[in-house]
Amino acid sequence: MTKIVGLTGGIGSGKTTIAKHFELLGVPIYIADEHARQLMQSKAILEALKQTFGTSIFEAEQLHRPSLAAIVFQNPAKLQQLNAIVHPAVQHHFQHWLLSYTTYPYVIYEAAILFESGNYQNCHSIICVTAPLESRIERVIERDHTTRALVEKRIAAQWTDAQRISKSDFVIENLDLELAKENVEKIHKILMIKQNDL
């Protein structure tokens, strides 16, 4: 049976970069946030978003993600409502995706809110990616062309590194690229050896 290895970390920690190192080793990767963005364009989810958050999150009939983010990252209850709409769809999609990789020893399920969503319970093993807070903030500001205040709100809405680490089997500090790659290779070898009893 193919094992599911969760890969998580705070926003800006470099989870996707680490996931791509695993991909280079031949491991199938499911990036939950990327698929969530695609699924949020479906008619059913767009209608649910409109019913829940109103028309202010749309511009010219298109979902305006910054407007939605501004609402949910200032209100934990609204964030829960968003997750309740999107995450079941992502899980359904992932289960179908997984059917294409049943011959692999393990796959990586990469998700920012692996613990917050409860999806960690479906994983056989968990890897946590960490990075210094200031580095994470700078990365997200540059990547998303956003403000420091909004990034800090998003970080505050997530678990802390300490919380994530306490429930993880492996930790990769994503500060030095070469060292991070070495850690990926070490973890990959361990996972391949222990695939029968993960």
pTM above 0.75, yes or no: yes
Q: Is 14 annotated as a binding residue?
A: yes
Share of the chain above pLDDT 90, in %: 81
Q: Is 54 annotated as a binding residue?
A: no
Burial (CB count within 10 angstroms: exposed 0-12, middle 13-18, buried 19+), residue 3:
middle
Q: Is 6 annotated as a binding residue?
A: no
DSSP state of 118: T
> With bands split at pLDDT 50, 70 and 90, how would you rate the model's confidence at 160?
very high
DSSP 44-74: HHHHHHHHHH-GGGEETTEE-HHHHHHHHTT
Q: Is 17 annotated as a binding residue?
A: yes
Contact 112, 15 (CB under 8 A): yes
DSSP state of 42: S
Q: Which domains does the chain have, with CATH numbers?
A: 3-193 (3.40.50.300)
- Average pLDDT for residues 110-124, to the nearest whole number? 93
Name the E strands within the chain.
Answer: 3-9, 29-31, 58-59, 62-63, 106-110, 125-130, 170-173
Alpha carbons 23 and 30: distance in angstroms, whole number: 10
| pLDDT (tens digit per residue) in 123-156 | 999 999 999 999 999 999 999 888 999 899 889 8
More confident residue, 39 or 74: 39
Beta carbons within 10 angstroms of residue 172's beta carbon: 26
| pLDDT (tens digit per residue) in 75-103 | 889 999 999 999 999 999 999 999 999 99
Smallest Cα–Cα separation from 68: which of 60, 58, 76? 58
Q: Is 26 annotated as a binding residue?
A: no
Chain centroid, CA 78 distance in Å: 19
What residues pair up with 59 in beta bridges, in sequence order?
Answer: 62
